[in-house]
Amino acid sequence: MLADSAWTSYLSARETALTSCADPAVAATSIGRAETRLQAYLGMGPEQASAHARRSFLYAADAAFHDQLLASGSADLLRAIVEQTSLDDLPLARERPRGVLAVTLHYGPATSILPLWLAMASRTGMIPQVAVIQNSRRNPKVMLSAQRHAMLADCGFPFDDLDIARLGEVAVLRRGLALLRDGGIVLIFADGQLPRPGAKRIFTCRLGAGSLVLPQGAEWLARSADVPLLPLLLRPDRDGHRLASLNACAPEHAQRGLQALIDAAMDFDPAPWSRWCCSADHF
């Protein structure tokens, strides 16, 4: 009964947040960016691009709402969200002699739900120890205080919060490598930053008729720790979400795995990818 009450409360709060999600001027700017990009990259006509751009803005607002829940939502509410996230076959749950680098995109509320899902699975013994690499300098909503992080662990969501803004890039990479070598799971967002074309240590992936430049951080971590790279995609599924995994790949095939992840997201539905609305002027 408590779980049902928490889920009902979550849906109500989510609806309220989405009906008043932004200043009209901010919304118009974000939607305009997304509309232009959807036409340029995916070849959508004006009407289709406009409809998908508005949906993309709502998905971005929904992701921000979930990030706020990660920072301040009650444990019962967070637990209800995770329990309502359905699951395809996930290789992380199998016995492995080595760690796994899980890689995903800013697709839907992945920045909040994926860390919580993996943490709960770790607490129950379903998967090994988990760490999440993010950068609160680029997304302040994912910043967790020491008190909040400890509270999440006490409530059944234990994970190492490897925040680049707080710890520094070198320290994050060292801790991530150590955990991977000990057989743990590290989650990284491949599109955590969108480097400019011509930057060093980048991959260039296809995005429709154009290209998307991504940093090589995921490939470097997997290669340095000698672990496989596993693409994950958190897809919308009615009022909840569904966690799907793609084929794992060796570090030397990281670019192929990232391309498969992008293709899977665009084939399912391009709108939940929040980068359509982002302010990066070079994308």
CA distance 51 to 54: 5
From residue 41, how far is each of 49, 65, 195, 202 by CA, in Å? 11, 27, 17, 20
Q: Would you state the pLDDT for residue 1?
A: 46
Paired tokens of 68: 């706020």
Paired tokens of 65: 């709402």
CA 144 to chain centroid, in Å, comes to 16
Q: Would you state the pLDDT for residue 3?
A: 61
User: b vs e for 214-246, b when ≥16 Cβ sit within 10 Å of the residue's Cβ?
Assistant: bbbbbbbbbbebebbbbbbbbbbeeebbebbbb
Spans of the chain below 70 pLDDT: 1-3, 22, 91-97
Q: Across the chain, how many H-helices and E-strands are there?
A: 10, 9
Q: What is the pTM of this model?
A: 0.92
Evaluate whether 210 touches 270 at the Cβ level (below 8 Å). Answer: no
What is the phi/psi pair of residue 250, to 5°? -70, 155
CA distance 202 to 29: 29
